[in-house]
Amino acid sequence: MRSTRRLTVPAAAAGLLLVLAACGDPGSGGGSADPTAADAGGGTVCEPVAGDQLVVLDDDQGLQNADNIIPAVNAAAAAADPALVPLLDGVSAALDTDKLIQLNKAVDIDRQTSTEAAEQFVADESLAADDASVGAGKSVVIGAANFSESATLSEIYAAVLRSAGYTAEVQTIGNRETYLPALQSGQITLTPEYAATLAEFLNTQANGPDAEPVASGDPDATVAALTTLGADADLTFGAVSAAQDQNAFAVTSAFAEEHDVSTLSDLATACDGGVVLAGPAECPERPFCQIGLEETYGITVSEFASYDFGLIGDAVRSGEASIGLVLSSDGSLAS
């Protein structure tokens, strides 16, 4: 799994990780396959449909692991301060994938700072604490990985905690291999995390690189496994949010309308003769990419086009591919 994450375009930081583990590093290609692939096996070949707006098709059979955002907290700090985690849970309750997309758009595309986007989110969602004295005299350090989404989430946590009277500092600490030991030791108090990625990171730490996976497409089961592993790693967790940043597959809204598809299962039915898939070079060999589409959904990939990760969305928009691998929280998905 990835050591942190990121494959968003300006924020391609902190390890890229589910996509790294799932679909490999971004391919070095830039070429595209002929989008008018002939149907080799009968059925309807759904050729690309150009359009400005991308939409993510619902992963209705749970191909991808549940990388829901969840606050990870030093266990000793949480035990010593019972007010801490409930404040973070308020953020989780307010956050979903659409709102995360908008936050990423604000920072990565509209060029707000993470602090500005966080403060606006806290105001819009009325997340300020009711009791401005609960954290008086208490200090917390929030560790952010070195990509913009993590920085923005960290600033949201900080703004909520400051509204409760805490002295809250955000420190950018780097990738998971760097910040997790700091979190476990108490050098930092808490950090935004990703349920499936962290669960597998802790799983391989505890049980070796060949450990049976514990993460799945089920957020509840994944968080249960994460909680168990965290207890042995001096970590505790707040409530899991509905917001997910994980591998996803997108088509243009024009394609979705033309073929009446909103899920990957719909795509398999409507385009039973094949689609042109855009992804990083390793996608055809990865279980969360082309192999997963074929084996989990029965989708026929009539042609594959290799692109650097940051160019995949543009390839789909321009009509060079029917469907492409993206991240579910990418700011460019904002409507």
pLDDT digits (tens, 9 = 90+) for 51-69: 999 999 999 999 999 999 9
pLDDT at 89 over 50: yes
pLDDT at 97 over 50: yes
On whether both 89 and 106 belong to a single domain, the answer is yes
**In percent, how much of the chain has pLDDT > 70?**
87
On whether both 128 and 228 belong to a single domain, the answer is yes
**pLDDT tens, residue by residue, 9-52:** 333 333 333 333 333 332 223 333 333 334 445 689 999 999 99
On whether both 34 and 124 belong to a single domain, the answer is no
Q: Decide which of 205, 237, 269 is a domain's last residue.
A: 237
pLDDT at 98 over 90: yes
Q: Is residue 10 part of a domain?
A: no
pLDDT at 158 over 70: yes
On whether both 75 and 222 belong to a single domain, the answer is yes
Residue 58: its pLDDT value, please?
97
**What is the CATH classification number for the domain harbouring 292?**
3.40.190.120
Instruction: Give the per-residue SS3 of 34-76.
Output: CCCCCCCCCCCEECCCCCCCEEECECCCCCCCCCEEEEEEEHH
Q: Is residue 2 part of a domain?
A: no
Q: Is residue 5 part of a domain?
A: no
On whether both 34 and 78 belong to a single domain, the answer is no
335 confidence band (pLDDT: 50, 70, 90): confident
On whether both 215 and 294 belong to a single domain, the answer is no
- Which amino acid, 327? L
pLDDT at 328 over 50: yes
Residue 15: its pLDDT value, please?
34
Q: Is residue 130 part of a domain?
A: yes
Residue 14: its pLDDT value, please?
34
pLDDT at 195 over 80: yes
Residue 41: its pLDDT value, please?
53
On whether both 252 and 205 belong to a single domain, the answer is no
**What is the CATH classification number for the domain harbouring 179?**
3.10.105.10
Q: Is residue 173 part of a domain?
A: yes
On whether both 212 and 308 belong to a single domain, the answer is no
What domain range includes position 83?
69-237
pLDDT at 217 over 60: yes
Residue 12: its pLDDT value, please?
33
Please state the domain count of the chain. Answer: 2
Q: Is residue 104 part of a domain?
A: yes
On whether both 217 and 82 belong to a single domain, the answer is yes
**pLDDT tens, residue by residue, 222-265:** 999 999 999 999 999 999 999 999 999 999 999 999 999 999 99
Q: Is residue 316 part of a domain?
A: yes
On whether both 47 and 73 belong to a single domain, the answer is no
Q: Is residue 170 part of a domain?
A: yes
